[in-house]
Amino acid sequence: MSFDLARQLAALKQRANGGRAAILTHDNPDPDSLAAALGLRTLFEKAGIPSTITIGGIIGRAENRAMVRELKIDLVPIERLDWKSHAVIAMVDTQPNTGNNSLPSGRRVDVVIDHHPPRADLGAIPWLDIRTEMGATATIVYGYLREQKVAIDPTLATAFLYALKSETRDLGRESGPDERDAYVELSKVADFEKLYTIVNPKLGREHFVALDRALRAAVVWGELLAINLGALDYPDLVAEVADLMLPYDRAHWVLCVGQHTHTAYLSVRTDIVDATAGALIRRVVGNSGAAGGHGMIAGGRMFAEVRDDAALKSVYDELVARMVRELKISASPSPLL
């Protein structure tokens, strides 16, 4: 660790000066972001810093809703947060100025913990811990708790374990020795009944509608499978469908695009172990949106409003064209089915 954790906690408590800490996830948070926030709240409160987990967007994916419900994770929508009572701000699995969180403009950030590459000048942030070699942000926070000898109860162990299962696909994607060690230790404590319920939730009609639409709309461009999902019930559907479609045997890349509340979202997946999906998606999106990720998974959103199917198709066609150029694909497109 590049800094003294005990010293950082003491300094943060002094800056809080009796106020609360706001722990902010990225918008529409995934299990890694949620588990990291829950673990950081535990760490802060053990250090005498009362904390609130706050989120932008919604919890859309069925597994993520089940995680929040089964583990009773208290979340406050950022638009309802009382900023006056929150003296310090911590960000997990996201960073300032990345476009994937709802941090209000002008707010000073005290803590950034992430496993994605740094995206801006973060030198003024007192507690900055970005470790791109980690497979999950939850792994970093888990290490904090271990270092401070904070007991990890079954609820928190289940949150961490599910974050690792989800983020690394059961250690098969972008995981290292820290994830493997954490996975083994957390398995000794986690509540596997709750974990089963989280991993295998009942799925709403919108999931099957999106899957049906994906199968009908999918177009194969050589090693790229591209899908225009149309209007979405929740933004996470682009990632959900991308995960489901990646096993197609001719695809090494999947691009899913869809629209929710006048915003176009995109998700990229690859099974190429040494790929750089995060860098690729930033080149594809360019200045037209906000995007990021790491080796095998990436996502983003476009800035321009998308109010109808025609506008979404225009955005989708341009994104596909850029992906085809980036991947140097010469094959002609053909429908999947």
Report d(CA 256, CA 274) in Å as an integer: 21
Do residue 262 and residue 115 come from a single domain?
no
Burial class (CB in 10 A: 0-12, 13-18, 19+), 76: middle
Do residue 91 and residue 135 come from a single domain?
yes
Do residue 275 and residue 195 come from a single domain?
no
Q: Is the pTM of this model over 0.95?
A: no
Do residue 154 and residue 229 come from a single domain?
no
pLDDT digits (tens, 9 = 90+) for 50-105: 999 999 999 999 999 999 999 999 999 999 999 999 999 999 999 999 889 999 99
Joined tokens for residue 320: 């596909």
Report d(CA 29, CA 94) in Å as an integer: 10
Do residue 151 and residue 255 come from a single domain?
no
Do residue 182 and residue 78 come from a single domain?
yes
Q: What is the DSSP letter of 275?
A: -
Helix 154-168 and helix 137-147, axial crossing angle in degrees, nearest 10:
150
| Residue-wise DSSP of 17-54 | TT-EEEEE--SS--HHHHHHHHHHHHHHHHTT--EEEE
Ramachandran bin of 222, using left for φ above 0, alpha for ψ from -120 to 50, beta for the remaining angles: left
CATH number, domain at 223?
A: 3.10.310.40
pLDDT score for 311: 97
pLDDT score for 2: 56
Do residue 178 and residue 318 come from a single domain?
no
Low-confidence ranges of the chain (pLDDT < 50): 1
pLDDT digits (tens, 9 = 90+) for 231-271: 999 999 999 999 999 999 999 999 999 999 999 999 999 99
Report d(CA 58, CA 42) in Å as an integer: 23
Joined tokens for residue 150: 């904070």
Do residue 143 and residue 234 come from a single domain?
no
Pairing label, strands 86-92, 111-114: parallel
CATH number, domain at 105?
A: 3.90.1640.10
pLDDT score for 99: 87
